[in-house]
Structure 1
Amino acid sequence: MATLKEIAEIVGVSKATVSNVFTKKKKVSPEITKRVLEVCEQLNYYPNRMAASLTTKKMNIIGLLLNDEGQFIKKYQKELIGGVFLAAHRNGYRVLVDMCSLDNKEVYNSLITGSEPMDGTIITAPFKHDERIRIMLEKNVPFVLVGRPPAEFGEDVLYVDVDNIGLVYQTVQRLVSLGHRHIGLLNSHPDTTISSDRLTGYKKALLENGIPCDDSLVYYTDNTAATGKVAAAELMSVHPDVTAVIACSDDVAVGVYEVIKKLGISIPKQMSVVALGGDDYIEMLKPRLTTAMIDYNLMGMEAVGLLLKKINKQPINSNKVITSINIIEGNSIAAVI
Structure 2
Amino acid sequence: MSVTIKDVAKQANVAPSTVSRVLTDSPRISEKTKRKVRKVMEEMGYHLNFSGRMLVQQSTQTIGVVMKGSSSHSFDNPFFSDVLRGISASCHKHDYSINITTGDSEDAIYRDVIKMVQGKRVDGVIVLYSKEDDQVVPYLRERNFPFVMIGKPTADAKDIIYVDNDNVQASKEVAEFLINLGHEKIGYIGGDTHFEVTTARLTGFQQAVAAYGIDIPDRFYKNIQLNSGDAKKAVGELLSVDEPPTALIVTDDFNALTVMLALQEQGIRIPEEMSVISFNNTIISRLANPPLTTVDTQPYQLGYESADCLVAQLGSDKMFKKSVIVPTVIVERDSCMTRK
TM-score, structure 2 normalization: 0.85
Structure 1 residues 231-263: Cα deviation after superposition (integer angstroms, max 9, x where no partner): 222332346522211112222222222222232
SS at match of 1:206: helix
Tell whether the 8 Å contact from 1:229 to 1:259 is kept in structure 2 after alignment. yes
Partner residue, 2:305: 302
Partner residue, 1:269: 272
Unpaired stretches in structure 2, ≥5 consecutive residues: none
1:81 corresponds to which letter in structure 2? L
Against the structure 1 CA distance between its residues 170 and 6, is the aligned structure 2 distance closer, same or farther, given a 3 Å change threshold?
A: closer
Partner residue, 1:53: 54
* Distance (Å, rounded) in 2 between the aligned partners of 1:199 and 1:37: 53
Tell whether the 8 Å contact from 2:231 to 2:262 is kept in structure 1 after alignment. no
Partner residue, 1:174: 177
Structure 1 residues 145-178: Cα deviation after superposition (integer angstroms, max 9, x where no partner): 111111122x111111111111111111222333
Against the structure 1 CA distance between its residues 16 and 244, is the aligned structure 2 distance closer, same or farther, given a 3 Å change threshold?
A: same
* Distance (Å, rounded) in 2 between the aligned partners of 1:69 and 1:77: 11
* Distance (Å, rounded) in 2 between the aligned partners of 1:231 and 1:241: 12
1:219-234 alignment runs, 5 A limit: 219-234=222-237
RMSD: 2.7
* Distance (Å, rounded) in 2 between the aligned partners of 1:5 and 1:257: 59
Give how far 1:139 is off: 0.6
Q: What count of residue pairs does the alignment treat as equivalent?
A: 331
* Distance (Å, rounded) in 1 between the aligned partners of 2:74 and 2:54: 36
Partner residue, 1:188: 191
Query: Sequence identity of aligned pairs in percent?
Result: 25
TM-score, structure 1 normalization: 0.86
* Distance (Å, rounded) in 1 between the aligned partners of 2:283 and 2:227: 12
Tell whether the 8 Å contact from 1:249 to 1:279 is kept in structure 2 after alignment. no
Tell whether the 8 Å contact from 2:62 to 2:97 is kept in structure 1 after alignment. yes
Partner residue, 2:290: 287
* Distance (Å, rounded) in 2 between the aligned partners of 1:313 and 1:239: 60
* Distance (Å, rounded) in 1 between the aligned partners of 2:250 and 2:51: 47
Tell me if 1:35 matches 2:36.
no
* Distance (Å, rounded) in 1 between the aligned partners of 2:90 and 2:65: 13
Tell me if 1:130 matches 2:130.
no
1:68-87 alignment runs, 5 A limit: 68=71, 70=73, 72-87=75-90
* Distance (Å, rounded) in 1 between the aligned partners of 2:307 and 2:209: 37
Partner residue, 1:142: 146
Give how far 1:201 is off: 0.7
Tell me if 1:319 matches 2:317.
no
Tell whether the 8 Å contact from 2:186 to 2:247 is kept in structure 1 after alignment. yes
Structure 1 residues 49-96: Cα deviation after superposition (integer angstroms, max 9, x where no partner): 343233323332222222225284432222222221222222232222
Unpaired stretches in structure 1, ≥5 consecutive residues: none
* Distance (Å, rounded) in 1 between the aligned partners of 2:320 and 2:195: 26
Tell whether the 8 Å contact from 1:69 to 1:222 is kept in structure 2 after alignment. no
Instruction: Identify which of 204, 214, 217 aligns with 1:211.
Output: 214
2:326 corresponds to which letter in structure 1? T
Tell whether the 8 Å contact from 2:186 to 2:216 is kept in structure 1 after alignment. no
Tell me if 1:97 matches 2:100.
yes
Further displaced range: 56-65 or 312-321: 312-321
SS at match of 2:189: strand
